[in-house]
Amino acid sequence: MTGIQPIDHSAGPVVIRTHDLYKSFGKNTVLRGFNLELHKGENLVVLGKSGSGKSVLIKCIVGLISIDSGSITVFGKEVSELDQAGLDAIRVKIGFLFQSSALYDSMTVRENLEFPLRRHGKGMSREEIDRLVIEVLESVGLRHAVDLMPSELSGGMRKRIGLARTLILKPDIILYDEPTTGLDPVTGREISKLIVDIRQQYGTSSIIITHDMYCTRIVADRILVLSDGICHAQGNYQALSSSEDLVVHPFFHSI
């Protein structure tokens, strides 16, 4: 870590902690001793160059990618030691917005949103499910798209439907992989505001991966810069934007 002082966010309990995380793909070492803590109710933005391993990091957290060494605890449970049932129990509490949206192509928007509900919203009535679907669609501003197929949606719409699907189970933690990338500035801002609103409404803790500095500025409680597989710097927006560090500086002063 460089000279920047991390600001104190240890107000809430830690919900995600990674310690000394190592992950390589063949000869390509992506994470080399990465540490991170996410506190309850916090919005943590992770910055890093393309290919620096940001997506790999959050996939490790939900157990999609197995780690080489180190530890990841979510709600105090060690992810690599959980059996399938334990992993599923944790995954239900974590919303994951994929960089590619990952909508189910063979299902309509409605079916996409209903899919997690049908599997985890035990004993929900038809009306309740319908109401929730419409509610989340309205919160991302796409109520009219309810009966379209994913192939009929634009990239930005897919992203928003992906976000709606993430929100529908009201997760305690949300991991956003580039929520605003590929959107026009106006929609991008709406999504950024939505992320702020979601935290206010549901008290979720989030890790947000982004390159969008507007988004970073309005959502971040704390920012962490991932570089060379470690946490290179962390701090709040003000602290980092005035940093002269060669890795940190370009993110905040790209124009």
**CA-wise closest residue to 63 among 12, 3, 23, 36:** 23
Q: CB 141 → ligand ATP: shortest distance, Å?
A: 25
Rounded alpha-carbon distances, angstroms, from residue 22 to 56, 151, 234, 244: 11, 37, 19, 28
Q: Which residue among 21, 30, 60, 153 contacts ligand ATP (CB under 6 A)?
A: 30
Rounded alpha-carbon distances, angstroms, from residue 218 to 43, 46, 122, 140, 203: 10, 14, 36, 18, 16
Give the list of residues 6+ apart from residue 43 with CB closer than 8 angstroms, or none. 195, 196, 199, 205, 206, 208, 219, 220, 221, 222
Tell me which of Mg ion, other proteins, ligand ATP, none is bound by residue 100, counting a contact when its beta carbon lies within the kind-specific cut-off of 5 to 8 angstroms.
other proteins
* Closer of 113 and 175 to ligand ATP (Cβ): 175
What residues numbered 5-44 form the site for other proteins, per CB under 8 A?
25-26
Q: Applying CB under 5 A, what is the total number of residues that bind Mg ion?
A: 2
* Closer of 27 and 122 to ligand ATP (Cβ): 27
Q: Which residue among 39, 59, 160, 222 contacts other proteins (CB under 8 A)?
A: 59
Q: Which helix (H) or strand (E) holds 230?
A: strand 230-235
- In angstroms, the CA 53 to CA 75 distance is 23
Tell me which of ligand ATP, other proteins, Mg ion, none is bound by residue 201, counting a contact when its beta carbon lies within the kind-specific cut-off of 5 to 8 angstroms.
none
Q: Is 47 helix (H, G, I), strand (E, B) or coil?
A: strand
What residues numbered 83-102 form the site for Mg ion, per CB under 5 A?
99
Q: Which residue among 15, 44, 56, 164 contacts ligand ATP (CB under 6 A)?
A: 56
Tally of CB atoms within 10 A around 97: 25
* Closer of 35 and 108 to ligand ATP (Cβ): 35
Q: Which residue among 94, 161, 191, 213 contacts other proteins (CB under 8 A)?
A: 94
Q: Per CB under 6 A, which region of 1-9, 11-19, 45-53, 116-124 contacts ligand ATP?
A: 45-53
**CA-wise closest residue to 236 among 247, 248, 250:** 248
Q: Which helix (H) or strand (E) holds 16?
A: strand 14-25
What residues numbered 47-66 form the site for Mg ion, per CB under 5 A?
55
Q: Which residue among 62, 136, 167, 220 contacts other proteins (CB under 8 A)?
A: 62
* Closer of 94 and 191 to other proteins (Cβ): 94
Q: CB 91 → other proteins: shortest distance, Å?
A: 5
Q: CB 12 → ligand ATP: shortest distance, Å?
A: 27
* Strand ranges, E, within 26-132: 28-39, 43-47, 69-74, 77-78, 94-97
Beta-sheet pairing, 230-235 with 222-227: antiparallel
Binding stretches for ligand ATP (CB under 6 A): 25, 28, 30, 48, 50-56, 99
